[in-house]
Structure 1
Amino acid sequence: MIAQPQTLRRTPWTSQADEAEISHWSTIAQSVAETLAANALERDRANATPRAEAELLRSSGLLNLLVPAEFGGGGGHFESAFHTVRILATADGSISQLLAYHYFNQAGIGFYAAPANQATWWRRTVEGGWLWGDSVNPVDPTLVLTEDGEGYRLNGLKRFSTGSGVGEVIIVNAVIDGGANHGKVLAFVLDTGREGLELLGDWDHLGQRLTASGSVKYTDVAVHPQDILGEVTDEPIASLLTPGVQLGFGNFYLGVAQGALAKGRELLLARKNAWFLSDAESYAHDVIFQRTIGELKARTAAVEALAEKLNRRFDTEVARSHELTAQQRGEYAIAIAELKVVATETGIEVANRIYEVTGASSTANSVGLDLFWRNVRTHTLHDPVDYKKIEVGAHFLHGELQPLSLYT
């Protein structure tokens, strides 16, 4: 009997994280978060390129959490990565975002590259200590990729390129213009020192200041065959990357809410006396303030429960590899959209209403409580949450799944 050839797995992640793994990476993340928290406000106000922060992520080992152990990586799972993102967000939303984007940019190796080519990419990212930025903003489609011999030439401008200002490499998505492959979308990786690649450093926003998310200009940048990860297709397992990014957002918003709650608790417990109309011995013993903070804590706990469930499920869906169906992928994307809705609204509400229990003195610039609100308010505008509500409603009412995009 002749053995039938087996299809190579698209992705290298085949199992679930155990408690020991999650505990290991959570401990590291907590240590990094404590370091970041020590001067988060000062660094945010300085608004400098986060090179020291990037080195902290690198030296901690967090950059290679998802890289298979056989290639020198941490051998971790996505559930551990989502935990890490959330923990960092309690201290520094910017660096949490930087790491979250890095994880899915780097994971493009497993989602886009042919299985036979992945080993080389995994080794290169570990040996180079790469932090991966991106240049894929789908609402800014100004890149032109044209054939040039065996490779291509890239021209155009991409805004909101997170991590580009500090990463060793940038993953780029661009449509081929002309030639036999006209219309195909390629994912490829460029080192930030490539000739013709210009980092504009123009990121200067209300929040998320240290994400190195400036624009990148490309002028006749050479894209060699060895730079190409693969074609961006609608294959369910390859397109699962996008819901994964949205799940990262949900964990990030949750972490910001938890950080704001922790800071608010600290400030509330430190408040002396009580409101003059109250019979309580302190603000922290006043039922008015207990009710408010209890409401915010309960809502945050509910978001956490949903996030925990979906974080673990991501590894289950990834493990299906090429057997993942479009229906399975679509239904999971809807579940993640549900998290996106409640995480967005809870993150903003907590970061805003925490002032109700911390009082007027907490608005002092030296306190820095505004950092949580500015960060979550800025990033939750990434894509309109109302469209996520529509996705959830359309599926609940009619069983509709959304067409594939870099937002769904």
Structure 2
Amino acid sequence: MTLELSDPPAATGGVHRIGDDAEAIELARALAEDFALEARTRDQERRLPYAEVERYSRSGLWAITVPRAHGGAGVSTHTLTRVIALVAAADGSLGHIPQNHFYALEALRVGGTEAQQAFFYQRALAGDRFGNALAEIGHKDYRRRTTLRRDGAAWRLDGRKFYCTGALFADWIPTLAVSQDESGENSHLVFVPADAPGVQVTDDWDGFGQRVTGSGSVHLQDVHVQPEWIVPFKASFERPTTIGPFAQIMHAAIDAGIGHGALQALLPWVREHARPWVDAGVERADQDPLLVAQIGDVHVRLRAADALIARAARIVDAARRAPDEQSVARASVAVAQAKAASTRASLLAANKLLELGGTSATLNRHGLDRYWRNARTHTLHDPVRWKYHAIGNYYLNGRIPPRHGAI
């Protein structure tokens, strides 16, 4: 089904301005409690969360990475990951939706001009949401085929994108495109107004997990683009920058959040519904020693992932302050460690929710399967096997991880 971009409710009222890290975390915790109330229903009915996204962005949480120099809270990466994980624990889809919004703000910080930063940061503070049109499917390589071509003083954009998380809810759709000039092929991040003529956003995401992320497709046909909407992208990877590790650590936070949500669902289920195995010789599941031990294992692995994410966030922030080849490499490796741990912990927690919960935990009316479906789907975002390779290659051979825009 193709949706008109005028279908979602229009933004109304003011946008809260968050002052510091503590306020961001407190507000995220409160919102997450509310978002959790209908998370099962949204997932089962595949009900796109327009109202929740509107509330989420107008809370000011979508602007917390705007630098203080531009009027934002300029929160630490650690705070950002905590906000993301809190929301993802309540609803994996809502935890994921703003990831590319924050990615776009980081791309602006690294590669945008002062004028571009001033304009788009103010739009974020005013409540504008940035989606994404980055990935393309149907090809065996990662070469981008969406093209940006000159048209007098302006540009024209053509292409098809998929996995466009957040585009259905966006005011702007940052789009990765390539252009040709005398120096060869260059890539750009083009901030396209979502309601521009020639932009078509289609709700065709039908994955079994992360069902309501709105991760459908974007078709761009002869879209008129102003030069001031074009941010260099290739140049941001020809030198050491934190765009890559910053993007990846948010994915680790989403995974860890989904895992914590699964554990939070498992504990009351064991106390109230699960049965102990007959050989345990106890009356209640929460007294079954093997079951209790496995819950302890889940808890330890999630806390270990949290610790690695927190450590990686500190290293990312250090690299953001002083980016060079070594600092960015340390950040990339630290984030790879966090991503490896969060992937394993998230899948373990979601699997144990069903295994320890028993057969009744699989009944559709309970909706507990959504944690496994969300964890399994989101952890496929990028192959964790390559995280282990990057870590091993760095420590064994001193090889610096590659810099690229795969997010």
Q: Same fold (TM over 0.5)?
A: yes
* SS in structure 2 at match of 1:184: strand
Work out which of the residue numbers 146, 152, 158 in structure 1 matches 2:161.
158
Residue 131 of structure 2 aligns with which residue? 133
> 2:242 is matched by which residue type in structure 1?
L
Q: How far off its partner does 1:273 sit? A: 6.2
Name whichever of 161-170 and 381-390 sits farther off: 381-390
Determine if contact 2:60/2:125 at 8 Å carries over to the other structure: no
Q: Which moved more, 1:289-298 or 1:267-276?
A: 267-276
Asked if the contact 2:28/2:87 (under 8 Å) is kept, the reply is: yes
> Which residue identity lines up with residue 131 of structure 2 in the other structure?
G
What is the correspondence of 1:79-90 to structure 2 with a 5 Å cutoff? 79-90=78-89
Counterpart for residue 315 of structure 1: 317
Q: Size of the alignment, in residue pairs?
A: 384
Q: Which amino acid aligns with 1:245?
A: A
Deviation at 1:116, TM superposition (A): 5.0
- Residue 247 of structure 2 is aligned with which of 245, 248, 264? 245
Partner of 1:31: 30
Could you tell me how far 1:317 is from its partner in structure 2? 1.6
Report SS of the residue matched to 1:90: helix
1:293 paired residue among 289, 292, 295: 295
SS at match of 1:331: helix
Task: Identify the residue that residue 200 of structure 1 maps to in structure 2.
Answer: 202
Verify: 1:304 aligned to 2:303, yes or no.
no
In structure 1, distance between residues paired with 2:74 and 2:337: 29
Separation in structure 2 between the aligned mates of residue 99 and residue 214 of structure 1, nearest angstrom:
15
Q: Structure 1 38/26 Cα, relative in aligned 2: closer, same or farther at 3 Å?
A: same
Partner residue, 1:357: 356
> Displacement of 1:72 after TM fit?
4.2
Check the 8 A contact 2:88/2:258 in 1, yes or no. Answer: yes
Question: Is this contact kept in 2: 1:90–1:255, CA < 8 A?
Answer: yes
Q: Which amino acid aligns with 2:221?
A: T
- CA deviation vs aligned residue, 1:93-141 (integer Å, no higher than 9, x gap): 10101122221122322122023542222123323x1111011126372
> In 2, are the aligned partners of 1:49 and 1:165 still within 8 Å (CA)?
no
Q: In structure 2, what is the Cα distance between the partners aligned to 1:279 and 1:136?
A: 55
Structure 1 residue 70, shift from structure 2 partner: 5.1
AA of the residue aligned to 1:136 = L
CA distance in 1, matches of 2:47, 2:106: 27
Write the distance in 1 (CA, Å) between the matches of 2:286 and 2:238.
Answer: 51
Aligned partners of 2:167 and 2:215 also within 8 Å: yes
- Per-residue CA distance 1:10-54 (angstroms, 9 max, x = gap): xxxxxxxxxx94432111111111111101010112223321121
Instruction: Write the distance in 2 (CA, Å) between the matches of 1:273 and 1:201.
Output: 41
Tell me which amino acid in the other structure corresponds to 2:78: E
Measured in 1, the distance between the counterparts of 2:296 and 2:328 equals: 36
Gaps of 5+ in 1: 1-19
Aligned partners of 1:214, 1:86: CA distance in 2, in Å? 23
Q: 1:125 to 1:302 in 2, by over 3 A?
A: closer
1:224 is matched with 226
Residue 105 of structure 1 corresponds to 104
**Aligned residue in 1 for 2:213:** 211
Query: Is the 8 Å Cα contact of residues 241 and 324 (structure 2) preserved in structure 1?
Result: no
Pair 1:122 & 2:124 matched:
no
1:279 aligned to 2:281? yes
Which letter does structure 2 place at the counterpart of 1:161? Answer: C
5+ residue gaps, structure 2: 1-18, 137-141
Identify the residue that residue 329 of structure 2 maps to in structure 1: 330
Mapped to 2, the partners of 1:304 and 1:231 lie a distance apart of 31
Greater mean alpha carbon deviation, residues 213-222 or residues 47-56 = 47-56
1:149 to 152, 156, 172: 152
